[in-house]
């Protein structure tokens, strides 16, 4: 994917500021911004040589492989390090491989709790955020209360901007291009860029996408072409990134920790029946006609949740479709045909 | 190949009695707790709860070639074949409504509670959530942050220690009785003795020829995993050590003409234990050590030295083999390789266990750089026999053995 018509890595270099890469939406970008650094989510490229196979087995998900390839290809000159919020087992191991092969400068593992309901989990989260902030300060500038508050305010504006887009009438491709751009672009520039952005209107049947990190724009374009509008979602480049703001009235670190605990919970965390309730709630609220499970291959946490969410949808007579993107990436004709058939099956 | 260890008969009896106790728990007014293999079982023992290990059951399922059959029950319910086969076969057994198709012992005794410690993987959390949902039993999760680099940060110890306090509260609520802290201390001390003697068992294989192989260790590990914290474990391993010492004294190796000494990495391919054991033995190769059984030979609970027993448990259960960085895992591999004087590594790239398998390419590469010795990586799955590619594995193993022959020539 390109950012404003530019290769993503070139775009990052163009920002000039020292940059910090990260691997998951649990990343508190506010801490990076407050340290005068530029946060950038690693978005795997759809081209290039596969160097990851010398390090990762064939049964590792395309996201893990893609991120490692991103790191092993030439890096933006201003990239100063990587922060890895611990989510799944694959990311955990990928982090080690990244570190022991000295891919980038600062290497920081942000090992967040798996159960966000306990006070001691919040205490622990605040402590590790504080330590991360110190480490970032060594690379950029030491954050102050003021710089943290400014960063929080800026990130809230970014999230609010994405949420303000009318997904009922815009295509999935454009929407996710915008949300992913927010993870890569300079935040102020993003706000300027999206202020009056012309939205490409579509009139598809409303559906919800549920899944993991999806970055191949062909996948989203498939929805546009078939005639489906993704009006809401539970995927990494979607609501998991931009739902829930940071409370600007609380002390900054506490506020950021609180957002981490309140934002949509991903399947790598302990949440019992939360996810099916959450997704059913989204279907009801958006009047979606169906749900499309959109998974990158080999994603175990999601695959564990699938039967439960599917059961819950079936009980409510909500149609759903399971799509798995193969490691080779892209959209196969078979996938396209299945989505077309699903569209035809949905009530108008 | 040498005869089977005589102690194996006693092991069979020992484990049968354990499973009978677990299966008859309800009629004896006892409660059953399912617990993950890296979980702190000492608390269950101290509260007189019978611990049951679905992973141990997964091993039995694999060894009896029932993995594929049980996994299919879960797959029909929507669980992908890319989900861990221990979990799939366990869930499959629960979902099966055919009593003859619930596993080698007719299914596990059902739990009154579930205890899941994620120090071995994130998979167990999802697995136990599913079991909790299907069986409607309470679940307690102990979250042990991965220690990518040492030392263990203080905030991690504080965080995990708090969860151990919560663990006690959880058990007390389920049982309706209080935990006797003196009893926990007693069990902790016994658990340390168990671990120490298991370590002594494994170290016997440092002798050349090794009196047993990793294939024996995979079988004889059952007590240290399932009954840790009880005196019977120490008694059992004392008997095993006696037999191993006899073999050492006689110069009797588990492999008749031991020429190659190898280290196994990862969970065994349970459904290929005999075939792989024979393969190596026929080529005069003994798997003298492994990272898997060694994981139960190192956990030491400094309950007496620490002021706070919960902090002692946090420090013991957080940095276990699968919860540390790949470089720390490599250190363990190289330490074991040196102690056991091995000629190479056999790494099982296990589709069902990503935390164990991802990083093996680096481990093999770095081991070779550091020692000049070779490795082979074979792809398989611990329990699901349907994924095994005999020709591919044998081709790789043959090439590896040829390399060892050439190195020795």
Q: Is the predicted pLDDT of residue B1 greater than 70, yes or no?
A: no
Q: Where do the domains of chain B lie?
A: 7-183
Read off the pLDDT of residues B12-51 as tens digits, 9 standing for 90 and up: 999 999 999 999 999 999 999 999 999 999 999 999 999 9
Q: Kindly give the pairing relationship between strand A6-7 and strand A2-3.
A: antiparallel
- The confidence score (pLDDT) of residue A348 equals 66
Q: How many CB pairs under 8 A join A and B?
A: 136
Give mean pLDDT, residues A94-100.
97
Q: How far apart are CA B276 and CA B271, in angstroms?
A: 10
**Fold match, A2-150 / A202-345:** yes
With an 8 Å Cβ cutoff, are B143 and A89 in contact? no
What SS3 state is found at B25?
coil
- The confidence score (pLDDT) of residue A37 equals 98
With an 8 Å Cβ cutoff, are A59 and B359 in contact? no
Read off the pLDDT of residues B94-150 as tens digits, 9 standing for 90 and up: 999 998 999 999 999 999 999 999 999 999 999 999 999 999 999 999 999 999 999
The ipTM assigned to this model is 0.96
Residues 6+ apart with CB under 8 A from A75: A9, A103, A104
Please give the CATH number for the structural domain made up of A202-345: 3.40.50.11900
Q: How far apart are CA A56 and CA A63, in angstroms?
A: 12
Q: How far apart are CA B112 and CA B132, in angstroms?
A: 10
With an 8 Å Cβ cutoff, are B78 and A99 in contact? no
Residues 6+ apart with CB under 8 A from B388: B269, B271, B272, B380, B381
Q: Which of B78, B125, B159 sits opposite A120 (nearest CB)?
A: B159
Q: Kindly give the pairing relationship between strand A228-234 and strand A106-110.
A: unpaired
Read off the pLDDT of residues A118-130 as tens digits, 9 standing for 90 and up: 999 999 999 999 9
Give mean pLDDT, residues B331-353.
98
Task: For domain B7-183, give the fold.
Answer: Rossmann fold (3.40.50)
Measure in Å the smallest separation between the Cα of A226 and chain B Cα atoms.
Answer: 26
**Predicted model pTM:** 0.97
Q: Are A269 and A283 in contact (CB under 8 A)?
A: no
Q: Where do the domains of chain A lie?
A: 2-150, 202-345
Give the range among A324-328, B245-249, B361-365 with minimum mean pLDDT. A324-328
Measure in Å the smallest separation between the Cα of A122 and chain B Cα atoms.
Answer: 10
Which architecture does CATH list for A2-150? Answer: 3-Layer(aba) Sandwich (3.40)
Interface of A with B in 24-83 (CB under 8 A): 54-57, 59-60
């Amino acid at each position: 994917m390109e950012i404003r018509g530019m290769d993503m890595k070139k775009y990052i270099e163009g920002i000039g500021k020292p940059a910090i890469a990260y691997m998951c939406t649990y990343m508190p970008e506010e801490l990076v911004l407050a340290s005068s650094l530029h946060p950038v989510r690693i978005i795997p490229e759809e081209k290039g040589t596969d160097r990851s196979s010398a390090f990762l087995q064939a049964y590792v998900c395309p996201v893990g492989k893609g991120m490692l390839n991103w790191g092993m290809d030439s890096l933006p000159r201003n990239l100063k390090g990587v922060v890895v919020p611990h989510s799944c087992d694959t990311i955990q191991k990928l982090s080690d491989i990244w570190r022991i092969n000295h891919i980038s400068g600062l290497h920081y593992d942000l090992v967040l709790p798996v159960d966000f309901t306990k006070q001691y989990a919040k205490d622990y989260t605040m402590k590790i955020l504080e330590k991360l902030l110190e480490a970032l300060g060594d690379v950029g500038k030491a954050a102050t209360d003021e710089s943290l508050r400014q960063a929080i305010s800026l990130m809230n504006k970014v999230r609010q901007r994405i949420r303000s887009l009318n997904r009922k009438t815009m295509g999935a491709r454009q929407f996710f291009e915008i949300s992913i751009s927010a993870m890569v672009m300079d935040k102020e520039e993003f706000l300027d860029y999206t202020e009056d952005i012309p939205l490409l209107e579509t009139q598809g049947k409303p559906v919800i996408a549920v899944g993991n990190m999806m970055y191949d724009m062909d996948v989203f374009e498939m929805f546009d072409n078939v005639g489906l509008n993704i009006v809401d979602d539970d995927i990494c480049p979607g609501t998991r990134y931009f739902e829930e703001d940071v409370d600007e009235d609380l002390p900054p670190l506490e506020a950021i920790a609180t957002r981490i605990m309140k934002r949509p919970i991903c399947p790598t965390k302990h949440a019992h029946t939360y996810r099916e309730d959450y997704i059913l709630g989204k279907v009801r609220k958006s009047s979606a006609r169906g749900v499309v499970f959109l998974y990158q291959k080999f994603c175990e946490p999601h695959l564990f949740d699938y039967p439960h969410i599917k059961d819950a949808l079936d009980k409510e007579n909500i149609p759903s479709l399971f799509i798995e993107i193969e490691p080779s990436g892209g959209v196969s004709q078979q996938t396209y045909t299945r989505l077309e058939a699903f569209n035809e099956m949905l009530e108008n | 190949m040498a005869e089977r260890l005589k102690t194996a008969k006693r092991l069979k009896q020992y484990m049968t009695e354990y499973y009978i106790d677990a299966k008859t728990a309800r009629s004896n007014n006892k409660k059953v707790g399912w617990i993950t293999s890296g979980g702190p079982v000492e608390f269950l023992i101290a509260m007189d709860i019978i611990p049951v290990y679905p992973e141990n059951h997964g091993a039995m399922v694999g060894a009896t070639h029932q993995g594929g059959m049980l996994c299919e029950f879960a797959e029909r319910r929507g669980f992908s074949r890319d989900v861990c086969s221990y979990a799939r076969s366990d869930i499959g057994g629960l979902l099966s409504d055919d009593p003859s198709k619930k596993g080698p012992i007719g299914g596990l005794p059902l739990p009154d509670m579930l205890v899941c410690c994620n120090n071995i993987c994130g998979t167990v959390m999802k697995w136990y959530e599913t079991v909790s949902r299907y069986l409607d039993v309470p679940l307690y999760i102990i979250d042990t942050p991965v220690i990518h680099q040492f030392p263990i940060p203080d905030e991690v110890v504080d965080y995990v220690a708090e969860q151990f306090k919560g663990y006690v509260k959880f058990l007390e609520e389920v049982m309706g009785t209080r935990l006797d802290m003196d009893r926990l201390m007693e069990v902790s001390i016994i658990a340390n003795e168990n671990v120490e003697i298991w370590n002594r068992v494994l170290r016997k294989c440092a002798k050349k020829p090794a009196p047993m192989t990793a294939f024996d260790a995979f079988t004889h590990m059952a007590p240290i995993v399932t009954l840790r914290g009880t005196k019977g474990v120490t008694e059992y391993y004392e008997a095993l050590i006696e037999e191993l010492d006899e073999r050492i004294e006689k110069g009797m190796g588990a492999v008749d003409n031991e020429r190659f000494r190898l280290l196994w990495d990862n969970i065994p391919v349970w459904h290929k234990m005999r075939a792989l054991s024979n393969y190596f033995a026929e080529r005069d190769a003994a798997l003298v050590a492994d990272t898997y059984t060694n994981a139960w030979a190192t956990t030491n609970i400094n309950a007496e030295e620490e002021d706070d027993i919960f902090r002692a448990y946090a420090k013991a259960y957080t940095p276990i083999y699968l919860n540390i960085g790949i470089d720390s895992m490599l250190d363990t591999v190289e330490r074991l390789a040196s102690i056991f004087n091995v000629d190479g590594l056999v790494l099982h790239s296990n589709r069902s266990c990503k935390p164990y398998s991802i990083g093996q390419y680096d481990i093999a590469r770095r081991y070779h750089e550091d020692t000049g010795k070779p490795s082979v990586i074979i792809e398989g799955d611990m329990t699901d026999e349907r994924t095994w590619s005999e020709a591919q594995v044998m081709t790789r193993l043959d090439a590896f053995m040829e390399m060892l022959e050439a190195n020795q020539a």
